[in-house]
Amino acid sequence: MREDSVVRENIDGRVLVVDDEASIRNVVKMFLEYHGLTVVTASDGEAAIKLINEEPFDVVLTDIMMPKIDGLTLAGEVEKIQPETLIILMTGFASVNTAVEAIKRDVFDYILKPFQNMQIVFQSIKRAIERKQLLNERTLLVDDLSKANTELEYHRNLLEKKVHAIDNELSHRVERLTVLYDISRSATSITNLDQLLANIMLRITSVFHDTVGIMWLTMPKKKQVDKVVTEGVKFNGELPDSIGLFDGVVGDVVRSGHSRRFRNIDEISDPVIKKFSATEQISSLILLPLRYEKEVLGVCGIMFRDSCEIVDDDISLLEAITDQASVSIKNAELYMAQQRMFRETIEALATAIDSRDHYTGGHSNMVTSYAVMIAEKMNFSEDRLEKVRMAGILHDVGKIGIADSILNKPGRLTDEEMEVIKAHPVIGRFILESIDALRPIARIIYHHHEHFDGNGYPEGISGEDIPLESRILQVADVFDAITSDRVYRKAMPREKALAIIRDSKGNSSDPEIVQILLDLYDDGAFEPYLA
């Protein structure tokens, strides 16, 4: 491939290329350097080990079959010397045994020679470098969370000292403080933002009887503050869903970052809050900022009716709770952002795999939709549904190691080609087990081509020995395969496809899961996907 036919990506990283064939070393070096990578080469394992002892590398790309020291042995040495360095193996003699051995060695990727396209090599190295960057970013995030936990521990100790300092004569106050302290501690364990805010406000209003609790969050990009939680409204008092970022008394708290206490509602000039307070018979209120470092994340408002009086100790405790709640809110935002980035990355990977064949474009999404609907009918928990969702999206990730000439072959595959195809669950497991967050679904994907009667692959296990999630994927995968166009045939008519699915009961497929799929079809659940 000519360099000027490839878009230059300019990736920053150091790569060691190890191969006993000088032509391969030179071609790979030239191609990677074209993309901005720093490339060092070695002709055998001994020379590579010497270099690894002297210089740091992000990725080692090595052939398996070499004199003196083979690639698998070299991978073990790299792990000892530079454990953060990722290994990518090249081989012209692919086999399941080699792939399994690579998994044991914790190798990042597995590339078949001769290369169908040098871009395959570059993309594998690019993913490895991105993987290292993600690990580095995760380390920084863990450090930030550790600092936040230290701050939480400080406030927890502060609250404990306050509780122990209360005189026995104030036993009713101790009870109130204890409950509120429990709120602050439990808030740190919730990562769902809506659930976190609702939990905090519900508990506060349950302790301070006859109160209204309101939580606002700042939306700097929209230059507004949004009302997200309201508890304790009795008389149909209304507040707008959003107000200007610095409007009214809520805006004053956002601007200043300091609490505001109104012992008498007549002290408030804000017409919106004043009208709401009059409707809800509010006599006093306190507004506390939800502040993380120098950033004001929102405002917590506690409004008291005549029957409830707030004292200085309550204010001090509320301030401590909002301090801890602010850290919890920030943690929840970081967690959701990380999960969103993770999901988008996974979906992009699945799309890239599907796009290698325009006949199967969207296959992973279709299989995921069918599998999730089946799992929902089987009353899977949300956590288990998420595993099915992720496994569906990535069930064919192992095909990244299969040559396009085999994947897109229009005719019948030879026995040798079929064996290569059968390696994709093994490759998929190898890829996913190298990623901590995806390791729980590696086994699901590994077994999704097993048959209920034991005639599947890669292990030929049967019945309930096959993970339930894998059995669901198997049925969903077959249904989409026979109802979609393929390079070697058109989609089957629906009745024929349904007959094949029915006939698979107890043979290739779990009878219970097949029946659930047929029921979903009869209920019209699949119509949007089969149009």
Confidence grade of residue 164 (pLDDT, cut at 50, 70, 90): low
- Asked if 254 and 241 touch (Cβ cutoff 8 Å), the reply is no
d(CA 132, CA 120): 19
The token pair that represents 196 in the structure block: 């976190």
Q: Would 143 be classed as within a structural domain?
A: no
What's the 3-state SS for 424-483?
Answer: HHHHHHHHHHCCHHHHHHHHHHHCCCCCCCCCCCCCCCCHHHCCHHHHHHHHHHHHHHHC
Task: Please tell me the total count of domains within the chain.
Answer: 3
pLDDT digits (tens, 9 = 90+) for 204-255: 777 777 888 888 888 888 888 888 888 888 888 888 888 888 888 999 999 9
410 φ/ψ angles, rounded to the nearest 5 degrees: -75, -25
Within this chain, do residues 123 and 15 fall inside the same structural domain, yes or no? yes
Confidence grade of residue 385 (pLDDT, cut at 50, 70, 90): very high
Give the pLDDT confidence score for residue 191 in this predicted structure. Answer: 64
Q: Would 228 be classed as within a structural domain?
A: yes
Within this chain, do residues 318 and 362 fall inside the same structural domain, yes or no? no
Q: Is 270 exposed, middle or buried (0-12, 13-18, 19+ CB in 10 A)?
A: middle
Confidence grade of residue 375 (pLDDT, cut at 50, 70, 90): very high
Give the pLDDT confidence score for residue 185 in this predicted structure. Answer: 64
Within this chain, do residues 408 and 489 fall inside the same structural domain, yes or no? yes
d(CA 253, CA 298): 9
pLDDT digits (tens, 9 = 90+) for 294-338: 889 999 988 888 755 667 777 777 887 788 778 878 887 887 787
Within this chain, do residues 363 and 411 fall inside the same structural domain, yes or no? yes
Q: What is the pLDDT of the chain when averaged over all its residues? A: 85
Q: Has this prediction a pTM greater than 0.75?
A: no
Q: Would 155 be classed as within a structural domain?
A: no
d(CA 260, CA 267): 11
Above 90 in pLDDT, residue 476?
yes
Q: What is the DSSP string of 328-340?
A: HHHHHHHHHHHHH
Within this chain, do residues 397 and 478 fall inside the same structural domain, yes or no? yes
Average pLDDT for 251-279: 89
For residues 465 and 316, the model is more confident at 465
Percent of residues, the chain, with pLDDT higher than 90: 34
Q: Would 73 be classed as within a structural domain?
A: yes
Give the pLDDT confidence score for residue 6 in this predicted structure. Answer: 63
Out of 106-115, 154-163, 436-445, 479-488, the most confident range is 436-445
Q: What is the DSSP letter of 107?
A: -
Confidence grade of residue 3 (pLDDT, cut at 50, 70, 90): very low
Average pLDDT for 156-176: 66
Within this chain, do residues 279 and 414 fall inside the same structural domain, yes or no? no
Above 90 in pLDDT, residue 513?
yes
Give the pLDDT confidence score for residue 4 in this predicted structure. Answer: 47
Confidence grade of residue 406 (pLDDT, cut at 50, 70, 90): confident
Q: What is the DSSP string of 220-283?
A: GGGTEEEEEEEE---S-----SEEETT-HHHHHHHHH-S-EEESSGGG---HHHHHHHHHTTEE
Q: Would 10 be classed as within a structural domain?
A: yes
Within this chain, do residues 177 and 320 fall inside the same structural domain, yes or no? yes
Average pLDDT for 404-432: 88
pLDDT digits (tens, 9 = 90+) for 347-369: 777 777 766 655 455 788 899 99
Give the pLDDT confidence score for residue 345 in this predicted structure. Answer: 78
Give the pLDDT confidence score for residue 429 in this predicted structure. Answer: 93
Q: Would 381 be classed as within a structural domain?
A: yes
Within this chain, do residues 116 and 39 fall inside the same structural domain, yes or no? yes
Single-letter code of the amino acid located at 371: A
d(CA 145, CA 151): 10
Residue identified by tokens 């030239």 is 30
- In whole angstroms, what separates CA 394 from the centre of its chain? 13
Give the pLDDT confidence score for residue 189 in this predicted structure. Answer: 62
Range with the poorest average pLDDT among 28-37, 249-258, 407-416: 407-416
Above 70 in pLDDT, residue 177?
no
Within this chain, do residues 359 and 487 fall inside the same structural domain, yes or no? yes
Within this chain, do residues 421 and 498 fall inside the same structural domain, yes or no? yes
Domain hosting residue 97, numbered range: 3-133
Give the pLDDT confidence score for residue 308 in this predicted structure. Answer: 59
